[in-house]
Structure 1
């Protein structure tokens, strides 16, 4: 067992000196510790975000208005300023390698920045020919392929609004999202490949298009050469290309909609979250440069689909001059080391993935080879247990900076994460990110240190949503983040902020284990259970209600060849009793064939809890928003 907080890596004086965050701190006149520059960034947000604009020489026209107007949730940023995301993403040396694409079959394509610009210009001309302009929506049902990036940049260059879903989403899940924004154009693949298998989606695309009366055209990207009939005009990707004119960029206000992302939609209609051009440009420049330490010459990879905000974050690598690696396919095909081999072959310098992949690699006993240029690893999606931290340093690379980040789709970035000037400790996130005034609130709304509380943000950030689509009064937006603490963003995670500014995330605060008054995040529970080699995955649910203690139920998916024997149950209970508390020994342990997860890999604790408390399965979760909806039928209310 690895002790939480054990020191695993320390930056050398040379790493600290050369880190981009150090150079920035010196430039802005605040040299010293990271905590010093962070404190300045949250105490003086207008000065900080202005300095980010100036430090990166952002393309745009700075207005004469104030940097920040109003208070949360009604904040307006950089009044009078105009900007365009695509103009900032596509600037630089035309001969620089901008994009590497790989898929699980070994296919590879590359684009220099000049080639990428020409592709964007051609698709932009095609969109103009279809009547797409400022404020119109372009929706995409595409995997993580270059065409997705090209279409997005073309859309953004026009001041139109982008929104995408991965083709593993079912038709109802997609229409739940896209019908809310009424797109003018749908870009879609007719199929995709995953895990060595082919999936024809032409009929699904036809079904989606039929539910979108706002469409003037459906653009098909061929995979299998099949198409379904659509009520809108049908074009091929090649048809969309117009004459390659000089690329132009529509200058839009700082908060003009850039894209619409969505909440998971597992328990209701997905929230359509709108981010603005300016807020995303500033936030991603800051985060990618200062926290991931990325810039010219770096090769940046994050395993993601177009249905997860990490795709939007990954392509932000273009803003800092990095080469971005797009990958389409399974992380475990043809073998569990597929992503590590990709990182070695493409000389990736920063490798990002979800925490479950790191844990799965650890459990598979992988020892990735090569990785000569790798200097950073990012983990997100769920808390990474201390054992996952330790495995990276023992079996991947000893001289790498591991950054566990926590944030969300809501802000398209991390609130807390790593930075190259701070050490890495097992299970601990080193810092709050620059410009993110993260605090821990107790039930009375008081800020606490060294205690587990609600993760809140008490000063605005420019990448907070400019609005929800179709929420003209802002009521849905306010209810989502500001209902509990007026003027303070409540994110819905448990966090413990330590005296040195580091923190530990304990999982979602609305799925807490509250046993005999002892409150605990689920991540602590999973750390103990999933350390057992017989356990491939797990889910823990506390059925208690306010003022009434319920039963604690543990569901496990077993590794190949393992059985839920009396001996395993006994050892599980003993470990939980010893490492957590006697109150956290499950009342029941059940084997299930799979743990329900969202399409982006998050465990569905809250919907399962609803099922266990009597909500019908079909009302508890939207199966089209799940990666494996078939497993829900294995969860039933406990026997009295």
Structure 2
């Protein structure tokens, strides 16, 4: 029987989203969703009021769509700097509350209160201004997840400069391409970080990259692992800025001033800089973190991520936009062993724990349930890839005793949050994304833009939202790259590039599922099938720890299914392969039985544990896998390439 999480009276009465429902006079989550898109201006105004988001200057209206759905103006005439809304507000109200807690892989911890954070930000702001950095400049951030990264984020934003977050594992070429595109005048970095018990240098990578970035004139360097050494021309010690007298003045910014440039991963062409604004990003992320993830003062948010992905800025601004505590973990979540995640929860009394399906599959494969106290957890978060039922239900039912909802949400860099999101006040079916996120008028449509239910279609959005990217940085005057990327497929509809499925069930519930990127979904004998659909069947096999499914060109079927798996034990590959083929044929259909089932030592993943399926497909085809600078283990792609070439 399908697992369904059911809310108890606590969530129905005391959750943040229940408070909003009472304010708007609705009784169910679906009624709230309908209200949120029936009049988007009225809804987002209610969010601003409910979350008490402070605008220094009142806005004339919530949204102006005079230029059309693709170019809305949010909170026109309003003034808001994200630092005032996320830091200044709480430094005044709860100065001694913990704003940031940090744990390194070696177990050392530190804590920064809101008052201390505000003081450090004011000192670094003085350093930035002394370096001539101010409103309209771009400042890149190449940092591990440490308190200094949070200080740097707010210091840059408080000067009116644009933040350009970079993934801490980027190679020089990936750093340079983004710094060049943004025209950054400064970079804040660290000498390195510790991961899997080893120091990983960052400063040498940056120095190499900046050789082709003539716009950069200042580099501030944090001595994070004691390997900074002598500073070069244009470089300044981070602690010198922290020793300055605080600059008390946050730069006034308008609602539509640029807050950050969030670059896509670049796996399918040149990285795109999504443009996010002060008011839009703050309002959307605070909405997300409050109503979906149940955050607020006295609660602790932990999502193991990186500043270079949208979850980094979302975690910082969303948590602090609600007055909560942000727990940062610097390192690998399975060091020294797979109990690390649970010990992190127990030690820091985590309220919201963000995980990935791949991480949970790895923990589940060990066959051990945690013995740590996990009673502090109120919500589990997940994003980035589809779940398989076995891993989802192991986490929900076996680990957390069916008492905690999994808020599995899906959106993207350009979205500034989610398109789809369940809420703690509604039943949540296994692996489901619940339904449209609040204020998001999303649908699943066929090739002719007609809504479809019970079959795979494209995920689209019919109306704008506050954190919708205001275009692509360095686009032409007409915004042709922006239009081509999101608005060219359907007239007046944002096409996100995800295939989705909306199922309606006899009990009145609905299940929404993201099945993968449109270019990941396979067309086998004329029928679309998503990798997740087959991977969920493969995951049941006792010989499989984790798997990835890709479609490979085939003269008979159009595309054939190939399965790559990491073994759980030492069973013969041929035995596992035969069993997997039989399972898929029986549960998905004979045409989808895998043509190849190959055992590999590892699957290529990002540091946030997402499997890089397109890179696997490229390895099979001996093609360019694209930008692998965000990969945790890029060598896995070459290993697969060699293995495939050796096939008879």
Q: Does 1:320 align with 2:328?
A: no
2: CA distance, partners of 1:608 / 1:108: 38
- Whether the aligned pair in 2 keeps the contact of 1:308 and 1:600 (CA below 8 Å) is no
Structure 1's 297 and 215: CA in aligned 2 closer, same or farther, altered over 3 A? Answer: same
Q: Does 1:331 align with 2:333?
A: yes
**Alignment length (residue pairs):** 631
Residue 16 of structure 1 corresponds to 12
- Whether the aligned pair in 2 keeps the contact of 1:169 and 1:625 (CA below 8 Å) is yes
1: CA distance, partners of 2:333 / 2:614: 27
Give the 5 Å matches for 1:27-426. Answer: 27-28=23-24, 30-60=25-55, 61-65=57-61, 67-69=63-65, 70-90=67-87, 91-92=89-90, 93-227=94-228, 232-241=233-242, 243-245=244-246, 247-315=248-316, 316-368=318-370, 369-398=372-401, 399-426=403-430
Query: 1:441 Cα deviation (Å)?
Result: 0.4
Provide structure 2 residue ranges, at least 5 long, that are not aligned to the other structure.
none
Secondary structure of the 2:120 match is: helix
1: CA distance, partners of 2:535 / 2:557: 24
1: CA distance, partners of 2:225 / 2:646: 47
Q: Does 1:630 align with 2:635?
A: yes
Query: 1:292 Cα deviation (Å)?
Result: 1.1
Residue 523 of structure 1 corresponds to 532
- Whether the aligned pair in 2 keeps the contact of 1:84 and 1:277 (CA below 8 Å) is yes
Query: 1:267 Cα deviation (Å)?
Result: 3.1
Residue deviations 1:12-45 (CA, integer Å, cap 9, x gap): 23320112112112223x2211111110111211
Residue 590 of structure 1 corresponds to 598
2: CA distance, partners of 1:42 / 1:104: 44
Query: 1:210 Cα deviation (Å)?
Result: 1.9
Give the 5 Å matches for 1:452-601. Answer: 452-473=456-477, 474-499=479-504, 500-544=509-553, 549-559=558-568, 561-601=569-609
- Whether the aligned pair in 2 keeps the contact of 1:468 and 1:476 (CA below 8 Å) is yes
- Whether the aligned pair in 1 keeps the contact of 2:525 and 2:557 (CA below 8 Å) is no
2: CA distance, partners of 1:533 / 1:498: 29
Residue deviations 1:516-538 (CA, integer Å, cap 9, x gap): 22221111111111233432332
2: CA distance, partners of 1:579 / 1:100: 46
Residue deviations 1:533-562 (CA, integer Å, cap 9, x gap): 432332222224899623322222324x52
Q: Which moved more, 1:111-120 or 1:449-458?
A: 449-458
Secondary structure of the 2:464 match is: coil
- Whether the aligned pair in 2 keeps the contact of 1:165 and 1:174 (CA below 8 Å) is yes
TM-score (norm 2): 0.93
Q: Which moved more, 1:480-489 or 1:319-328?
A: 480-489
- Whether the aligned pair in 1 keeps the contact of 2:135 and 2:159 (CA below 8 Å) is yes
2: CA distance, partners of 1:433 / 1:202: 39
2: CA distance, partners of 1:27 / 1:137: 40
- Whether the aligned pair in 1 keeps the contact of 2:33 and 2:438 (CA below 8 Å) is yes
Secondary structure of the 1:429 match is: coil
Query: 1:232 Cα deviation (Å)?
Result: 4.4
What RMSD in Å do the two structures reach over aligned CA positions? 2.1
Query: 1:610 Cα deviation (Å)?
Result: 4.4
Residue deviations 1:311-331 (CA, integer Å, cap 9, x gap): 112112011011110110001
1: CA distance, partners of 2:589 / 2:214: 56
Query: 1:564 Cα deviation (Å)?
Result: 4.1
Residue 440 of structure 1 corresponds to 444
2: CA distance, partners of 1:257 / 1:389: 38
Q: Which moved more, 1:604-613 or 1:276-285?
A: 604-613
Secondary structure of the 1:26 match is: helix
2: CA distance, partners of 1:442 / 1:296: 43
- Whether the aligned pair in 1 keeps the contact of 2:304 and 2:608 (CA below 8 Å) is no
- Whether the aligned pair in 2 keeps the contact of 1:432 and 1:502 (CA below 8 Å) is no
Structure 1's 366 and 277: CA in aligned 2 closer, same or farther, altered over 3 A? Answer: farther
Secondary structure of the 1:211 match is: coil
Query: 1:409 Cα deviation (Å)?
Result: 1.5
